[in-house]
């Protein structure tokens, strides 16, 4: 739900006596299901009625401008009112209820009676001033959070990736909800779509790698039996051609020397390396599975989680807490958009260059460039491989021209276009966007590409908030 609609909803419901408003879920046709507390009178013997907050559920219809159009429900049932009456009576009889206007309540009191603007007696929870109790509560919460992080530490990357993907694709989820799809249906559809977009390219790459593995095995077998003749392009390598050709004749063209070279390579514990690679691949698949599972629940339950997070942030940090969260969300969305858009542009431009230069499989190389362009130096690795294939084909001039063109495209995209796109949305200076991207990648790995700019956005927001000039006090008597 947009922020302006939710604020308007809370304001309107407050006029009808509702407190602690929490949006449970969004419904079609501009309606939302809300949970709130309704101030309702309960009658206790020997005194006037006391208004106690009673939990209720209601359905609210919003107009196009986010204003409340109609309310359905919201009236406490008889059982809830009876429970509230017994609860107030228990508080009073056990000495835990302070009377209205009591200045120095005795110890052991947990609730008090306050007069609201309409003169009603309202039941409120007393603020606890005990520093020892506050310290114990903070200590317990800190211990529980640390234990939870320790338990979840193997799956923290999955949670982080799910959060980034949910924030980046949230407009699509809202579009599906506006079209009348249920929250569960939208969550399932988007999770399947994201899964296909992630797994599909991985399957294509795996198939291509399997095909190339057959060629590599055949080449190694021929190298053992007859050696590998010196290609003609080796002599055309500037400055180093003669040296490389001599080394090639001594170590690869001669079958005995080639067997010795391969024996050295096999002595480097190749089997152990292969097992480690397989174990790492299984671990990545597990992370991917938990990412998609978490993403489904993020799509389905994020409105409730976001509303609860706003309440907690407001209690802990005041209005600035919600502002910092919004800055971080904008930064993550801007980073994802910048990485994806720039990556697609790089893939298209260099894919065209691959085709013009005569690189084999230019579409596959262009796709790999677009995919790896999200990672610093990823696109560089792809076009270097493309240039190397041209050199093998003795097309040195085409390789040099492709290298120069691709270097210019990647340099401009990574150092100017991408930071400019991200900075325009987040109001971050160019330098801080660049530092956030590269610093986040170095510190947190690939997820740091998105976490880094988000942290920088929060830091800059705190700086700007603190640097605001103080509002001058109003003159006395004004």
Segment 76-94, tens digit of pLDDT: 888 888 888 888 888 777 7
* 80 plus 162 within the same structural domain: no
Encode pLDDT of 78-136 as tens digits: 888 888 888 888 877 777 777 665 554 555 667 777 777 777 788 777 665 556 666 77
Query: What domain range includes position 213?
Result: 157-295
Domain finish residue from 231, 263, 295: 295
Q: What number of helices (H) and strands (E) belong to the chain?
A: 15, 7
* 122 plus 175 within the same structural domain: no
Average pLDDT over residues 182-202: 87
Q: Report pLDDT for 163.
A: 84
Contacts of 420 (CB under 8 A, 6+ apart): 430
Evaluate if residue 454 carries a pLDDT over 90.
Answer: no
* 198 plus 270 within the same structural domain: yes
Average pLDDT over residues 235-246: 69
Average pLDDT over residues 175-185: 88
* 30 plus 91 within the same structural domain: yes
Contacts of 188 (CB under 8 A, 6+ apart): 296
Q: Report pLDDT for 451.
A: 78
* 389 plus 290 within the same structural domain: no
Question: What is the C-alpha to C-alpha distance for residues 155 and 290, in angstroms, rounded to an integer?
Answer: 8
Confidence of residue 361 (pLDDT cuts 50, 70, 90): confident
* 389 plus 464 within the same structural domain: yes
Evaluate if residue 335 carries a pLDDT over 90.
Answer: no
Average pLDDT over residues 53-60: 85
Query: Structurally, how many domains does the chain consist of?
Result: 3
Question: What is the C-alpha to C-alpha distance for residues 38 and 44, in angstroms, rounded to an integer?
Answer: 18
Average pLDDT over residues 446-462: 77
Helix (H/G/I), strand (E/B), else coil: 111:
strand
Q: Which of 182-191, 360-369, 448-457 has the highest mean pLDDT?
A: 182-191
Of 452 and 67, the one with more pLDDT: 452
Asked, for residue 216, whether it belongs to a domain, the answer is: yes
Q: What is the mean pLDDT of the chain?
A: 76
């Amino acid at each position: 739900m947009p922020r302006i609609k939710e604020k308007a909803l809370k304001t309107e419901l407050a006029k009808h006596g509702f407190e602690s408003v929490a949006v449970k879920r969004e419904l079609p046709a501009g309606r939302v299901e809300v949970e709130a507390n309704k101030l309702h009178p309960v009658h206790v013997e020997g005194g006037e009625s006391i208004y106690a907050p009673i939990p209720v559920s209601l359905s609210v219809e919003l107009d196009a401008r986010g204003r409340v159009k109609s309310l359905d429900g919201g009236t406490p049932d008889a059982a809830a009112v009876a429970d509230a009456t017994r609860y107030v009576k228990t508080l009073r009889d056990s000495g835990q209820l302070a009377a209205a206007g009591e200045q120095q309540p005795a110890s052991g009191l947990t609730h008090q009676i306050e007069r609201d603007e309409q003169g009603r007696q309202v039941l409120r929870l007393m603020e606890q001033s005990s520093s020892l109790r506050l310290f114990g509560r903070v200590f317990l919460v800190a211990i529980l959070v640390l234990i939870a992080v320790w338990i979840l530490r193997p799956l923290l990357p999955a949670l982080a990736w799910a959060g980034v993907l949910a924030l980046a694709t949230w407009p699509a989820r809202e579009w599906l909800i506006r079209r009348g799809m249920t929250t569960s249906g939208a969550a399932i559809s988007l999770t399947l779509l994201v899964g296909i977009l992630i797994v599909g390219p991985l399957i294509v790459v795996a198939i291509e790698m399997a095909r190339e593995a057959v060629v590599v095995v055949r080449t190694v077998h021929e190298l053992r039996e007859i050696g590998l003749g010196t290609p003609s392009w080796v002599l055309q390598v500037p400055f180093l051609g003669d040296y490389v050709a001599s080394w090639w004749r001594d170590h690869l063209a001669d079958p005995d020397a080639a067997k010795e070279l391969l024996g050295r390579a096999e002595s480097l514990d190749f089997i152990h390396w292969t097992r480690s690679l397989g174990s790492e691949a299984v671990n990545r698949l597990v992370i991917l599975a938990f990412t998609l599972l978490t993403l489904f629940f993020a799509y389905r339950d994020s409105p409730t989680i976001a509303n609860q997070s706003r309440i907690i942030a407001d209690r802990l940090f005041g209005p600035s807490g919600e502002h910092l969260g919004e800055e971080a969300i904008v930064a993550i969305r801007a980073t994802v958009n910048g990485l994806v858009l720039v990556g697609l542009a790089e893939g298209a431009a260099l894919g065209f260059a691959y085709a013009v230069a005569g690189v084999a499989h230019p579409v596959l190389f262009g796709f790999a460039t677009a995919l790896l362009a999200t990672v610093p130096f990823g696109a560089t690795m792809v076009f270097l491989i493309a240039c190397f294939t041209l050199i093998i084909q003795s097309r040195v001039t085409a390789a040099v021209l492709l290298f120069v063109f691709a270097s210019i495209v990647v340099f401009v995209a990574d150092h100017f276009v991408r930071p400019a796109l991200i900075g325009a949305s987040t109001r971050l200076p160019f330098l801080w966007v660049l530092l956030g991207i590269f610093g986040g990648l170095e510190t947190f790995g690939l997820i740091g590409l998105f976490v880094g700019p988000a942290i920088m956005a929060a830091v800059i927001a705190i700086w700007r908030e603190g640097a605001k000039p103080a509002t001058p006090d109003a003159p006395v008597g004004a």
